[in-house]
Structure 1
C-alpha cells in the first residue's frame, strides 16, 4: 500500500495483519507448560552443577 503526494513522492505503508485476541490455554496445555518449565529448571540446574563441579 502506498500514497503519492503532489510532488510525486511515494510513501510506503506496511500492510497490517488482522488483530485477534489470544485464547486462554486449555488445562492440557497448562499441564504441558508446567512440564516444560520443570524440564527447563532441571536442565539449567544440572548445567550449573556440572559447571561448578568442573571448576
Structure 2
C-alpha cells in the first residue's frame, strides 16, 4: 500500500493491485466433476422442497 499527501494535508491510501491471471478452460474430468456436483445439488434441493411440502 502506498500513501500520497495532497497540498491541504489529506492522505490518500492506495492498495497494491494483485497480478491478474486468466482462467483456463476446465479439463474433461473437471467438467464431469462439475456435472456430478450439479446433479447432487439438484437432488438435494429437490429433496428439501419435497420434505418441506410434506411437513407443512
TM-score (norm 1): 0.88
Deviations 1:3-52 (A, max 9, x none): 12233432100111100111011111100000000000000000000111
Structure 1, unpaired ranges of 5+: none
TM-score (norm 2): 0.87
User: What residue is the counterpart of 2:23 in the other structure?
Assistant: 22
Structure 2 residue matching 1:19: 3-state secondary structure: coil
Which runs of 4 or more aligned residues in structure 1 lie more than 3 Å from their structure 2 counterparts after TM superposition? none
User: What residue is the counterpart of 1:2 in the other structure?
Assistant: 3
Residues 1-55 of structure 1 aligned to structure 2 (within 5 Å)? 1-55=2-56
**When the two structures are aligned, how many residues end up with a matched partner?**
55
CA distance in 1, matches of 2:18, 2:7: 29
